[in-house]
């Protein structure tokens, strides 16, 4: 019975660790914003539409899903669109130099109308800004126009910037490479739970021994009480004689 309770407790604590870890690691998504669809032309007949989705508020130390959709909207018979590369850049206000966040090389061919390419990137916001926006550069070509052509689109598009939500709590130790407060707290939590799980067998053994000692003590007291009552009975009988 005790082993059964031990396994149940270990199972509950393991689920607590897993759910806590997933809540922290999983990409904390707020309401997702969809940028306007932009149609880009390789030539008059061959074109494609691009739009992207992501929240408009990003946590400073968290990853966010940034999704890019490319739909073929115009492809004449015998032609196709090749997506050579997709580059993602951060634009920070009052900073003339943009930051490269990701380069994708899909090498995907869109051969018919309404075919879609979808790319999901887990991105962290720039650490030295309060807000930013994103430039998406797409290098594409087609069978009819085999030379690489560069196209640009923006996210959020209609909205000006993505806001960066920063932690008000300072790092536990302000040293390069030391984890932020959320990661540090997560480590402490996992360590404490792991320590409890490891200690459970010893705790149950100690509890069992204490219970046995208490029972033994009670039994000893009962025996002593029985002996005393017998002695009294004998002494009373002797006195009557």
Task: Look up the CATH number of the domain holding residue 42.
Answer: 2.60.40.640
8 A C-beta contact, residue 139 and residue 150? yes
The secondary structure of residue 107, as a DSSP letter, is -
Is the domain of 122 the same as that of 237? no
Q: Give the residue-averaged pLDDT of 153-176.
A: 75
pLDDT (tens digit per residue) in 9-61: 555 555 555 554 444 444 444 689 999 999 999 998 999 999 999 999 999 88
- Looking at the structure of the chain, the number of domains it has is 2
Is the domain of 24 the same as that of 105? no
What range does the domain containing 162 cover?
31-166
Record the tokens describing residue 175, joined without a space: 């040293």
First to last CA, the chain: 56
pLDDT (tens digit per residue) in 188-227: 888 888 887 887 777 777 777 787 777 776 666 555 555 5
Percent of the chain whose pLDDT exceeds 90: 49
Is the domain of 140 the same as that of 39? yes
Distance CA 16, CA 12 (A): 6
Look at 18-22, 67-71, 178-182 and tell me which has the smallest mean pLDDT: 18-22
pLDDT of residue 220: 61
Please give the model's pTM, rounded to 2 decimal places.
0.60
Is the domain of 25 the same as that of 38? no
Phi, psi angles (nearest 5°) of residue 237: -65, -40
Is the domain of 38 the same as that of 156? yes
In 3D, which of 122, 129, 130 has the Cα closest to residue 102? Answer: 122
Q: Report whether pLDDT(109) > 90.
A: yes
Is the domain of 135 the same as that of 159? yes
Contacts of 112 (CB under 8 A, 6+ apart): 72, 75
Is the domain of 16 the same as that of 112? no
């Amino acid at each position: 019975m005790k082993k059964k309770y031990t396994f149940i407790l270990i199972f509950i604590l393991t689920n607590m660790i897993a759910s806590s870890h997933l809540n922290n690691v999983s990409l904390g998504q707020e309401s997702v914003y969809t940028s306007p669809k932009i149609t880009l032309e390789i030539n008059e007949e061959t074109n494609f539409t691009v739009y992207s989705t992501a929240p408009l508020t990003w946590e400073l130390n968290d990853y966010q899903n940034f999704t890019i959709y490319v739909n073929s909207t115009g492809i004449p018979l015998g032609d196709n669109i090749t997506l050579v590369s997709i580059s993602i850049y951060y634009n920070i206000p009052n900073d003339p130099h943009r930051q490269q966040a990701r380069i994708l090389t899909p090498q995907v061919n869109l051969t018919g109308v309404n075919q879609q390419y979808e790319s999901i990137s887990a991105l962290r916001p720039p650490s030295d800004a309060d807000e930013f926006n994103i430039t998406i550069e797409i290098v594409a070509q087609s069978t009819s126009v085999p030379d690489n052509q560069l196209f640009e689109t923006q996210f959020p598009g209609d909205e000006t910037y993505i806001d960066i939500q920063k932690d008000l709590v300072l790092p536990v130790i302000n040293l390069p490479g030391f984890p932020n407060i959320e990661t540090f707290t997560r480590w402490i939590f996992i360590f404490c739970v792991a320590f409890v799980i490891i200690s459970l067998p010893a705790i149950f053994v100690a509890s069992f021994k204490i219970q046995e000692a208490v029972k033994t003590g009670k039994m000893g007291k009962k025996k002593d009480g029985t002996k005393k009552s017998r002695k009294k009975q004998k002494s009373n009988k002797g006195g009557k004689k």
